[in-house]
Chain A
Amino acid sequence: MLSKSFLYSTTFGTLIILILSSFFSLFYWLYSKKKSEAITEIIIFLLLFAFAFSFSHSPFYGSFGDTYTQTVLNNLLTSFVILLTITSIISSSDLMSKNLKYGEYYFLLLISLTSSILLINTQNIFNMFISVELLSMSLYGLTGFNKNDKNLEASFKYFMLGSFASVFMILSLVFLYIGLGSLSLVDIKNSLAISGPNPYINIGMLLFMSGFIFKLALVPMHSWAVDVYWGAPTNVSMFMISGVKLSIVVALYRLFSSYTTSVVIYAMYAFIVLSIVIPNLIALYSKDIKKIIIYSSISHAGYIAISFLGTENWQAYFYAIIYSISVIGVFSVIMFLEKNFKDLNYENIKGLYHSKPSIAISLLIFLFSLSGVPPFSGFFAKFYSFYNAVNGGFKWLVVIAVLTSALSLYYYLKILIPAFMKDAEKRDYEGTVCNYAVIYLTAAATLLLGILSNPIIELIKNSI
């Protein structure tokens, strides 16, 4: 039953605000005669309101029979996802002005944000399925939003492969219900503790998790990701790799930790090894900056998953948070570059440092952070993740992981070489204030959040 406490809870309020604003954006656009660009500001304002609301704490509650539980951690992640969405909207605010269909765009964006938040807050497999479907539906729309060939192809591929994954998830629901008679994660965890692994639940959980692994794009279920993230509008890819990925990581981690049998662990081990080796190898031969970053995002999903295997649980959240911040930054830089270059071949950005040092330095911070060079925050995230895996007894996995991060250095450095070390004539670059502001802010965060990681870790640890 919808208990009274749920109605007063912050999550509920946040969701209501988001849903209302998404419909407002749609109807405003459909029925208003004067279509003003001010809708971006209004949406940002509404999101800020939702952010502030989600930050206020309300007492713990559980409702719909523990389907949704509000914990401090969920609150924290909810507000963080909203914050990520706000920054990605700000960073891409001018891209949309060429394409005057804000209403639909913000509608889809806010619906996917809403479903990400549902995904973060739920404790029930059926609800996870519903939210991830809703999320995917709106992302299919967003991917093809600009309606050019590249977008549409990406959207169609995403839709076809995504529905395939959904089919398996539905099948898994059947297995789980036969095996257990409940779809609550708490029940699954208890059943494992009481009666040990059961073949139906085993198959069901593996299938359901593989659906999420598909959404997270771990190798070998990654091939859609390259096409989709590359084909989608850059601002949409940015949102997908930062906020959406964060919520999927959280959900997958919850699934994993409530059903940690040896089969699941070995499957995860295999996925991780493949995901940290293969994309890093492919990226070595890639020339397109955006593609390199996309391959690196696949390998980073693997690095995040390494920390699932450990005995402590704050590392995965810390990694996901740090990573999504650098992704917002690096994609904002890519957006800036897309404005100034037709082709994102890394050789083209020659002399960026001499003409636009602040952007080049920010790019340096993001890339060094992604490759895990101290003192940037990516190093700390990787370190904690590796530490956790060794703590769980996965020593050789960590050895593989450090070797692949050494490998990945090469392609990150490859981007920096033309930008810093090759001379070119000074040229003018165009960019918007909003884009710059997001780049600088995320660069500062990426530089400092590692060194000052103590309060963040304590916050996450205390909220779990």
Chain B
Amino acid sequence: MMPITLIISIPLIAAFIILFLRNDKSVKYISFISSLIVFIISVIMFINFDSSKGFNFTEKYMWIKALNIHYYVGADTLSLLMILLTNFIMPVSILSSYNYIKKDIKKYYIWLLILQSAIIGVFVSLDTFLFYIFWEAMLVPMYFLIGMWGGENRIYATIKFFIYTMAASLLMLAGIIFTYINLKNSGINSFEIFDFYKNTLIGKTQIFVFISFLIAFAVKIPLFPLHTWLPDAHVEAPTAVSVILAGVLLKMGVYGYIRFLIPMFPTLSHQIAPYISAVGVFGVIYASLMAWVQKDIKKLVAYSSVAHMGLIVLGVFSFNPEALSGAILQMINHGISTGGLFLMIGILYERTHTRLMENYGGIFKTVPFIATFFMIVTLSSIAVPSTNGFVGEILIFLGSFKSHRILTILAISGVILGAVYMLMAYEKIFFGKIEKDENKKILDLTIREWLYLIPVVIMIFWIGVFPNIFLSKIQVFVSSFLK
């Protein structure tokens, strides 16, 4: 069995089949079914996973002989959790775009499926070159998904997104080449990630490579002050793309830190950790304040996303088991809760075609179910106990307090701000008096929407109450990682 190749290729095959379909309905069904199959396969992978073995399901074939590049894939706990998150979010976002996308339906699903396969590729590559290919290939579908199905200002947003990420990644390409040449000169002709850990870079070159990796991943996270593309991209993107962007794409930056930057440059990472954590915490506070003053609910959630990611960076750069496990768990939590928030905003937007909070107000009674689900994901996002967000954040703070005391205290104040702006936004939308007549006629959830919201809610409480199913595996990974 080659489960990883299977989950990379199934979306591509589905996209290829869709290319020849003429019926919009079958396009939707096929893309949903393929994403469901991929999800089931990844759940089976999770069940069969042996965390003591390190990398499971490895496959290795020669690809480019001249440079000793391999098609080398495999999954450890971190990869597997990310795959699971991706493949959980994918069917949800495909279901959520059934009504939202009205033009060029076929092409939309083709791009979405190509995106899925590229994302999975990023998380499973164990060859740096292969990783880079997937890392950048993912930008192409994103570019078209935002640029073709986005809002008014979509072209500006998509170009900004593309050039921002691409410029940073191209610098990383130079860094990858430098490292490879360094390895080659010391007798290791290989692009494997594990061999990259053995680099003997020194001096200016080392600092260049380090910074190139640091920035390439920081843009994706996005770390303050490289976050400016994110609010634009989020506001313009269609719902499903926002969900994927917040849910999965932002995690790639942190994934890159854990997979590449820290193991490749342990000393430099430790030296720079206080500064990066400070930048992360500053991002938490800055983004929270920015979110507070937003009128557009989608932009508010986008800024809250920046804040959460800053917290995760703090967790990663604390270098102790609690904080790191918290950060990894929080990556999943953030995917689910922010993804859920974007889903809810999409549901409201489909009905009212506005994202400004002032146009809502008092709709709790008209749409009680929407309001309930919105409340649950909001609570999860502000980390109320018994939801998933709480477990992750408390672990991060427990760990980071050991390493960076003042920063942790500041970060906690950022979390309080988070509760303030999220609850205020909720109040503006759902409570008060109905001032607009059209708001009285908003329809409540349809069956399809129930179908994809229920799993999200289940995940929120499941991780909130029984985090151990994930944490036990994360801890094995973390203890071996920190060695």
Interface residues of A, Cβ cutoff 8 Å to B = 314, 354, 357, 368, 372-375, 379, 383-384, 386-387, 390-391, 395, 398-399, 402-403, 405-406, 409-410, 413, 417, 420-421, 453-454, 457-458, 461
Contact = CB atoms under 8 A, between A and B. Distances in A.
Contacts of A374: 132-133, 136-137
B178 A395 contact: yes
Nearest to B129: A383
Contacts of B469: none
B144 A454 contact: no
A410 B184 CA distance: 34
Contacts of A357: 107
A398 to B, nearest CB: 5
B255 interface: no
B64 interface: yes
B92 to A, nearest CB: 26
Nearest to B139: A373
Contacts of B140: 368, 373
Contacts of B208: 399
19 contacts: A357-B107, A373-B136, A374-B136, A379-B136, A383-B129, A384-B67, A387-B180, A391-B181, A398-B174, A398-B177, A399-B208, A413-B143, A413-B162, A413-B163, A417-B159, A421-B154, A457-B65, A458-B66, A461-B66
B166 A409 contact: yes
B434 interface: no
Q: Which of A398, A402, A405, A457 counts the most B-chain CB atoms under 10 A from its CB?
A: A402
B155 A421 contact: yes
Interface in B92-151: 104, 107, 129, 132-133, 136-137, 139-140, 143-144, 147-148
Interface of B: 62-67, 104, 107, 129, 132-133, 136-137, 139-140, 143-144, 147-148, 154-155, 158-159, 162-163, 166-167, 170-171, 173-174, 177-178, 180-181, 184, 205, 208
B162 A409 contact: yes
A375 B163 contact: no
A354 B106 CA distance: 12
B147 A458 contact: no
Contact of B64 (A372, A373, A375, A454): A454
A59 B366 CA distance: 86
A391 to B, nearest CB: 6
Given A387-B67, A391-B181, A454-B63, 17 more contacts: A357-B107, A372-B170, A373-B137, A373-B139, A384-B67, A386-B173, A395-B178, A405-B170, A406-B163, A406-B170, A409-B163, A410-B159, A420-B148, A421-B147, A421-B148, A454-B66, A458-B66
Q: Top 5 A-B pairs ranked by shortest CB distance?
A: A406-B167, A402-B170, A374-B133, A421-B147, A374-B136
A368 B162 CA distance: 12
A375 B181 contact: no
B174 A402 contact: yes
Chain B contact residues: over half helix, strand or loop, or mixed? Answer: helix
Contact of A417 (B67, B147, B167, B178): B147
Q: Which of A383, A403, A417, A461 counts the most B-chain CB atoms under 10 A from its CB?
A: A383
A417 B166 contact: no
A215 B342 CA distance: 56
B178 A390 contact: yes
A299 to B, nearest CB: 15
A390 B163 CA distance: 24
A420 B144 contact: yes
B177 A420 contact: no
B166 A373 contact: yes
A406 B215 CA distance: 15
B66 A386 contact: no
Contacts of A395: 174, 178, 205
A390 B181 contact: yes
B137 A420 contact: no
A285 to B, nearest CB: 16
A454 B63 CA distance: 7
Nearest to B180: A387
Contacts of B166: 373, 406, 409
Contacts of A453: 64
Contacts of B144: 420
A191 B113 CA distance: 60
Contacts of A383: 129, 173, 177
A410 B163 contact: yes
A372 B180 CA distance: 20
A372 B169 CA distance: 12
A357 B106 CA distance: 12
Given A406-B167, A409-B163, A386 B174 contact: yes
A375 B69 CA distance: 15
Given A420-B147, A457-B66, A458-B65, A375 B133 contact: yes
Contacts of B174: 386, 390, 395, 398-399, 402
A47 to B, nearest CB: 31
Contacts of B143: 413
A312 B152 CA distance: 50
A393 to B, nearest CB: 9
Nearest to A418: B155
A409 B164 CA distance: 11
Contacts of A387: 67, 177, 180-181
A461 B63 CA distance: 16
B205 to A, nearest CB: 7
A387 B143 CA distance: 27
A254 B129 CA distance: 30
A405 B159 CA distance: 15
Contacts of B65: 454, 457-458
B120 to A, nearest CB: 15
A318 to B, nearest CB: 9
B94 to A, nearest CB: 22
A417 B63 CA distance: 34
Contact of B173 (A354, A402, A417): A402
A387 B166 CA distance: 19
A373 B133 CA distance: 8
B263 to A, nearest CB: 22
Nearest to B162: A413
B50 to A, nearest CB: 32
